[in-house]
Amino acid sequence: MNGYETPPLASGIFGSYGSPTNGHGSLSPEPLHQKAKSGAKALYEQRKHVTKTSINSLTDTSQYQVEHLSSFIVDRKDGLLSVEDGVRRLRLLEAKGKVWTQEMILQVEERSVRLLDLDTQKDLEYFPVSSLLQVQAVMNSCSFDSLLALVVRETGQSKPDLHLFQCDHIKANLIQADIESAVTDAKGGKERRRPEALRMILKSDGVIPPPPANPAPEPPSSTNQVDVKSRAAAWSAWTNEQQDCEKQRHIYEEDEGGDTSAARVDRDVQILNHILDDVEFFVMKLQKSTEAFSELSKRKKNKKGKKKGPGEGVLTLRSKPPSEEEFVDCLQKFKQAFNQLGKLRDQIQNPSAEDLLHFLFSPLRMVVQSAGGSDLPRSVLVPLLSRDAVDFLHSAGSPEERHLWVTLGEGWTKSRLEWPKEHYFPPFVLTFRDGWEPPVLPTANQQREQETLSQHQRETLSHQRETEMLSHQRETEMLSHQRETEMLSHQRETLGHQRETEM
């Protein structure tokens, strides 16, 4: 790979301000990376803390979960002759937002290093230890603070490849020690270094215990996800048999105080920002997979024979398009973004709701085209658009944008009020890639209780201060009276003494 790049999304296209059952046809897709626990934050934390390394002391095989960042050809013409040159190139790519991480397994064996697909465990790349020209850990040199660099030249390859990996779970210097011990042992020697290197890694602070013998529990089915349904009931505006929910929402908002309304706007802005972040991430993933596919096709066209060339395994993994579930998740976030803009149309500026609406249609068009047309988007029913969102799209969308919007079907153009009351729509729960959840707003009753409590506290404090002032006033009066009494007594004694002296 040649450090291939792709133009990023226009800067600020999603400018920010300071699995549930998802109604996709008859399917109920889980959100991306969802594991056993329900609740987005719990899922995110669980995914972060799954086993990241496994060491088999019997076969001297170790596995590390790493993130592939980029690969370059070591070539004087490109000004890339060393690992340091590659790290500098990586920094430039990062500054332009052109680094796309790809999780995979790096497996070290006695005589080889393999890169494996994280999901299927299939081989992506196979490097005999004899092909490893350099193994180097680069620590704390940039935002990627634990870099592992592999310089590889396979048989028949005229110029080496430089592969860069971020190693978060087991630090790069430990993986470097493991690989270098395998290289040394493969060259022969009196003592094998690898067993000691593996023992050192197991004792290090960065290690996570080997995976348990029992398989991980299966994710719960959508029919018994009580927590998911309760969350849906808590803040979804489109539950079944609530045809007049929008009227109730307007009545409720009119009854709220200014503080709660401000908190609601802030919450809606936070939701919108997280939606835009996830949409941008998905679109970048689409761009990267398309660009990797193009690079892979070019390499296959130019090479001779069927043998897989250097770096083609990683390119093949990167060229895989997102899954249907990921497309559905992104399309649902577009719909929810329209709902948020409908609510915030009079609340946000720089960019305004209209600006963001126009920005959203460009990636929406790209996603629809990448999905093969409007069939998949038309099957995405929930979340339904609110009446405010539909009116906003009609009034603010350009003719071309409205045309695209209408082609996506009634699930995108009709609010809940326009559907038959008996039509069932499954609950929708919005989840985010980073596990963030919207803050819970206090109800009107809770706000009134808080205001009543605050008033009571103020009255109590005022009463306490009045009592203290009265008490202090009494003490002052008593002290003054005592002093007057003492002075009169002293004067009497003095006068009596004078009379005795005169007599």
Non-local (6+) Cβ contacts of 408 within 8 A are 368, 374, 377, 378
Non-local (6+) Cβ contacts of 24 within 8 A are 328, 379, 380, 381
The pLDDT value given to residue 20 = 39
Distance CA 232, CA 246 (A): 16
Q: CA geometry: angle at 184 spanning 309 and 144, to 5°? A: 60
Cis peptide bond prior to 439, omega within 30° of 0: no
**Region 378-403: what's the mean pLDDT?**
93
Q: CA geometry: angle at 415 spanning 411 and 420, to 5°? A: 85
Non-local (6+) Cβ contacts of 451 within 8 A are none
Residue 102 pLDDT exceeds 80: yes
The pLDDT value given to residue 472 = 75
Q: CA geometry: angle at 235 spanning 229 and 236, to 5°? A: 70
Question: Counting beta carbons within 10 angstroms of the beta carbon of residue 406, is it exposed (0 to 12), middle (13 to 18) or buried (19 or more)?
Answer: middle
The percentage of residues in the chain with a pLDDT greater than 90, rounded to a whole number, is: 31
The pLDDT value given to residue 120 = 85
**Region 347-372: what's the mean pLDDT?**
90
The pLDDT value given to residue 245 = 43
- Cβ–Cβ < 8 Å for 247, 417: no
The pLDDT value given to residue 484 = 75
The pLDDT value given to residue 383 = 93
Q: Which amino acid is at 236?
A: S
**Region 118-139: what's the mean pLDDT?**
90
Band of residue 196 on the pLDDT scale cut at 50, 70, 90: confident
Non-local (6+) Cβ contacts of 52 within 8 A are 64, 65, 168, 169, 170, 208
Task: Find the range with the poorest average confidence among 234-238, 256-260, 485-489.
Answer: 234-238
- Cβ–Cβ < 8 Å for 151, 133: yes
Helices (H) and strands (E) in the chain, counts: 15, 8
User: How many C-beta neighbours within 10 Å does residue 272 have?
Assistant: 23
Strands (E), 99-257: 102-108, 112-117, 123-128, 132-139, 146-152, 161-166
- Cβ–Cβ < 8 Å for 271, 432: no
Question: Of residues 467 and 170, which shows the higher confidence score?
Answer: 170
The pLDDT value given to residue 260 = 53
Beta strands 102-108 and 112-117, pairing class: antiparallel
Distance CA 365, CA 286 (A): 13
List the structure tokens of 409: 């079907």
Task: Find the range with the poorest average confidence among 31-40, 164-173, 176-185, 423-432.
Answer: 31-40
206: nearest Cα among 173, 163, 242: 173
Residue 153 pLDDT exceeds 70: yes
The percentage of residues in the chain with a pLDDT greater than 70, rounded to a whole number, is: 70
- Cβ–Cβ < 8 Å for 364, 404: yes
**Region 359-367: what's the mean pLDDT?**
92
The pLDDT value given to residue 97 = 76
The pLDDT value given to residue 22 = 47
**Region 331-353: what's the mean pLDDT?**
91
The pLDDT value given to residue 239 = 35
Band of residue 244 on the pLDDT scale cut at 50, 70, 90: very low
Question: Of residues 151 and 27, which shows the higher confidence score?
Answer: 151
Band of residue 313 on the pLDDT scale cut at 50, 70, 90: low
Q: Which amino acid is at 150?
A: L
Distance CA 168, CA 93 (A): 20
Band of residue 53 on the pLDDT scale cut at 50, 70, 90: low
Q: Which amino acid is at 475?
A: E
Non-local (6+) Cβ contacts of 233 within 8 A are 239, 427
SS3 category, 55: strand
- Cβ–Cβ < 8 Å for 447, 45: no
- Cβ–Cβ < 8 Å for 292, 322: no
Task: Find the range with the poorest average confidence among 78-87, 231-240, 275-284.
Answer: 231-240
- Cβ–Cβ < 8 Å for 267, 439: yes
169: nearest Cα among 199, 208, 201: 208
**Region 110-139: what's the mean pLDDT?**
90
> How do the domains of the chain map onto residue ranges?
52-203, 257-441, 458-503
**Region 142-167: what's the mean pLDDT?**
88
pLDDT tens for 211-224 read: 444 454 444 443 33
pLDDT tens for 74-91 read: 888 888 889 999 999 999
Residue 385 pLDDT exceeds 90: yes
**Region 375-390: what's the mean pLDDT?**
93
Q: Could you tell me if residue 39 is left (phi over 0), alpha (psi between -120 and 50 degrees) or otherwise beta?
A: left
pLDDT tens for 447-489 read: 555 555 556 566 666 667 777 777 777 777 787 777 777 777 7
SS3 category, 415: strand
The pLDDT value given to residue 417 = 87
Residue 382 pLDDT exceeds 60: yes
**Region 340-358: what's the mean pLDDT?**
90
**Average pLDDT value for the chain:** 75
Highest mean pLDDT among 201-205, 248-252, 386-390, 441-445: 386-390
Strands (E), 2-140: 53-56, 61-73, 102-108, 112-117, 123-128, 132-139
* CATH for 52-203, options being 1.10.3720.10, 3.90.226.10, 2.30.29.30, 3.20.20.450: 2.30.29.30
Strand-pairing partners, residue 75, are 80
Non-local (6+) Cβ contacts of 6 within 8 A are 98, 287, 288, 290, 291
Highest mean pLDDT among 24-33, 292-301, 435-444: 435-444
Report, in this order, helix, strand and coil percent for the chain, each rounded to 5: 50, 15, 35
pLDDT tens for 492-503 read: 777 777 777 766
Helix axes 353-370, 258-302, angle to 10 degrees: 30
Distance CA 69, CA 54 (A): 22
Beta strands 132-139 and 146-152, pairing class: antiparallel
The pLDDT value given to residue 450 = 53
